[in-house]
Amino acid sequence: MAAAPVLRGRQPERDRLDQALRRVRGGESGVLVLRGEAGAGKTTLLHYVESQAAHCRVARITGVESELELPFAALHQLCRPMLASVGTLPVPQQHALEVTFGHAAGAAPDKLVLGLAVLSLLAEAAAERPLVCLVDDAQWLDAASGQVLGFVARRLLGESVLLVFAVREPNTDTLLAGLPALAVDGLNDDDARALLTATNPGRLDARVLDRIVAETRGNPLALLELSRSGRAELLGGFALPAVGTDALQDRYERRIRALPEPTRQLLLLAAADPTGDAALLWRAAQGLGLRPQTAGPAEEAQLVEIGRSVRFRHPLVRSAAYAAGSTEDRRAVHRALADALKAGNDGQRRVWHLAAAAAGPDDRLAGELADAAQGAQSRGGMAAAAALLRRSAELTTDPGLRVERTLSAAQASLDAGAFESVLGLLARAEALSVDDLQGARIDLIRGLTDRAAHSGREAPAALLRAARRLEPLDSRLARHTFLDAWGAALVAGRLAYPDSDLAAVSAAARAAPPAPGEATAADHLLDGLAALITDGTAAAHPVLREAATGFLGNAVPPARWLHCGVLVANAALSLWDYDCWEAANARHVELARAGGALAPLANALNVRRVIALWRGDVEHARELGLEESTVKEVTGTRRVSYGDLFLLAYQGHTAEALPLLAEAAVEATARGEGLGLYFTDRATALLHLGLGHYADAAAAAERAASGNLGPFTAQALPDLVEAAVRSGATAIAESAFVRLVAYTTGSDLEWATGLEARSRALVSDGDEADRYYAEAVDRLGRTRLTFELARTRLVYGEWLRRERRRSDARRQLKQAFEEFVAMGADGFAERARHELLATGEKVRKRTADTVDELTPQEEHIARMAKDGRTNAEIGAELYISARTVEWHLRKVFGKLGISSRKELRDAPIHSPSRTR
């Protein structure tokens, strides 16, 4: 193939790329996403980077549209030249890469471990000389590769790796969202004219030249194509051809059709194989009777280059080559590729080609596709499994089995997050002859899709309909669906429709017939949660206790645990059992991590952060937030974390908290998540309580405590009692206390009785108030609920001061202040400090300039290093490379004025966020 095109103009783009190359040569990493329409010059800019990357190692790959549903295809293409370094990685990372690329058997690796493995592999490849990775046509990366590369891009810091993506616009990708980007527009008018003039000797018609520049908007590829095939128009001012992406592909098709028939067939064969594997191409070509000389005319026309790999001039050439083939020719090349793959171990790709070659229904091949889908699932390729199952259904003759495979494809698409595809498959299934059970399952999958995609108010009604429809058909599945409906109604909260809100779903679940056989832990969970809403906490507690015991007793399969983990934690919260709450959540996190179930893991980590905050461990909550953010990046989740809201409320950071709370409220309303509004109101109430803004706290707490969301409403009521008393709304406080007693009745656990005693003290006077305050301190002092204990000491101390018992007040307030300071609850600490000052106690105000200014991540890394953890161990836990850990530690040493890990042992480590 000819040399890379000359780069005309583009000085700002070149400057940006040159700067990135200088940084990577200086030991830092960089990421840049080039965004522009087809033909805008993104590929030429990648050629420029490659030409300027002297003394660097360059790895270049191209996304392929036909590989969108084949998991990790692009990732394998990028990593293959570096796999010799796999042996230097930690064993879990080695295993993750070997399983992912089919070199070893095993369960699908955790995506976080896989992302860290790729990050470490790139860092190792860059150890000798900087590594430049160029990814062209990133919009066609398969989702699994895109997730991992997006993860890596967000973790690059000190590895001497430059990662440059080129992605076509308009594009709706989320995998690369938020990364540094550079818009690649058309050439300016002068450069566009210069390009046309340089490639077309002779006097050009000025009017035509101006029109071409204007209509192409300076698109370089469009200009070059017109230079080659539109000379009559340019020189004589005759008819101007249509220009655009479709027109460009048409031009390529015409050029391909003008080639000899064997050459066209070879191009079609190359286009049908998305791997670009030249050895596979020639094996398949031999089966079609095509010789290597056949490629000559296409290479001379600069349409393709075939060396160690196959590279088309432009993705549109690949599309044109495939479009130029007849239906029968396409089937023939797919059969040839399948035959060529017989000797290999890529069974999924072979059956994929066989399916593309099929002219009609084929039950044997449909079965092979279904089997291949199971293999794809075991490697974490849910999108690939969905595609294989979809084609399997299309080739199946038996109507009932065809529906089953279509529903399996829909479920796999749901697991892969392809919600639009799910709805299309369900519509296809409905168009077939389905029995009642299959129809009910369609309702179920549609409801689960709505809940996953929107968390909206529609999901409870859809799932409730599915559960009722399933009752006479499959009572066990019906009860599981009622549980899904209950969880959806809880999330919809006060935004749910009245006929499908939590009360309606709970009543329907209570009326549902039991499943045959012995009741399971999931049955107890459904019965207990439903009774919680219909009959109250006292009636629900025995059943919820049995459910929690069953789940924690390892009697429940992991898949059911993952499905119900959040609801089990809710059951424990309803019991006011902190230890059970923590144990249930720990099991949920453990199973989600082990199974690489990232969506459940994000939810479980969010709950875990709240658990940590309630025991006063702000530092651990912040560390968990780093992991949660990583998981959300991998899954493409953008929603605000409620753990972040509570953390900011604890710390009293109004400048950060109030905008985020407002954003979260708008987001929750748009998604139909009433539970999200509860969390924003609850966090708002805590924020204002810490700051002493009692009227604002009362308004937010009253919203949070409205309705009946079971354990969540119960948790909001003590806040409302405190805020209402402090703001003078006595009647509201007393009403909230009565409601709280209804939720604590039947529980003898210290959490429930301690909060009830504190709330009773707040609405009482004299000796009665004193007695209940003391009881609350005593009861909560027996728990690990450090935050609630400190809050109780605070309100007790405030009451004692107003009773003019200054000595007693100072004792309670000082303990509260010290506890708030230790846990980093700075808002409440400041409230306690003001109360202490009012008693005559001298307390130093805490400010950010009293400590070394480490960022939270620097502090976290420093603490781990101080504990003796190696760079590799720290990197594995934080999902960053060992070299990035070293980069962070150099910054830590500089800020602390030290030069070694040995000196770190005695250095004080703090971050500003702990002292604001």
For residue 914, what pLDDT band results from cuts at 50, 70 and 90? very low
Q: Identity (one letter) of the amino acid at 164?
A: V
Residue 597's pLDDT is 60
Domain 852-914 has CATH 1.10.10.10: yes
Q: In the chain, what are the domain boundaries? A: 11-183, 189-243, 252-357, 746-846, 852-914
The total of other beta-carbon atoms located within 10 Å of residue 194's CB is 14
514 contact partners, CB below 8 Å, separation of at least 6: 475, 479, 523
- Average pLDDT rounded to a whole number, residues 574-583: 95
For residue 1, what pLDDT band results from cuts at 50, 70 and 90? very low
Q: Is the pLDDT of residue 712 over 90?
A: yes
Cβ pair 52, 95 in contact under 8 A: no
Name the DSSP letter for residue 765.
-
- Average pLDDT rounded to a whole number, residues 665-688: 93
Q: Is the pLDDT of residue 418 over 80?
A: no
Residue 132's pLDDT is 96
Per residue in 745-782, pLDDT tens? 888 899 999 999 999 999 999 999 999 999 999 999 99
- Phi, psi torsion values for 854, nearest 5 degrees: -90, 145
For residue 528, what pLDDT band results from cuts at 50, 70 and 90? very high
CA 850 to chain centroid, in Å, comes to: 37
Q: Which of 311-315, 697-701, 820-824 has the highest mean predicted lDDT (pLDDT)?
A: 697-701
For residue 413, what pLDDT band results from cuts at 50, 70 and 90? confident
Query: Which residue would you say has higher pLDDT here, 336 or 594?
Result: 336
The lowest-confidence range among 40-54, 139-153, 311-325, 764-778 is 311-325
* Helix ranges, 237-342 (H): 245-257, 261-272, 278-287, 296-300, 315-323, 327-340
Residue 845's pLDDT is 57
Q: Is the pLDDT of residue 209 over 70?
A: no
Residue 273's pLDDT is 82
The lowest-confidence range among 529-538, 676-685, 714-723, 865-874 is 865-874
> Of the candidates 469, 390, 374, which has an alpha carbon nearest to the alpha carbon of residue 422?
390
Which residue, chain included where needed, has tokens 């990133």? 138
Residue 632's pLDDT is 66
SS3 306: strand
Q: Identity (one letter) of the amino acid at 382?
A: M
Residue 740's pLDDT is 97
Query: Which residue would you say has higher pLDDT here, 884 or 616?
Result: 616
Q: Which of 273-282, 608-617, 896-905 has the highest mean predicted lDDT (pLDDT)?
A: 608-617
C-alpha span between 364 and 145 (Å, rounded): 31
The lowest-confidence range among 37-51, 133-147, 368-382 is 368-382
CATH class (in words) of the domain with range 11-183:
alpha beta
Per residue in 236-285, pLDDT tens? 333 333 334 566 678 888 899 999 999 999 999 988 886 678 888 999 99
- Average pLDDT rounded to a whole number, residues 215-231: 63
Per residue in 64-76, pLDDT tens? 776 677 788 889 8
For residue 852, what pLDDT band results from cuts at 50, 70 and 90? very low
For residue 916, what pLDDT band results from cuts at 50, 70 and 90? very low
Query: Which residue would you say has higher pLDDT here, 901 or 281?
Result: 281
Which residue, chain included where needed, has tokens 């954003």? 663
Residue 395's pLDDT is 94
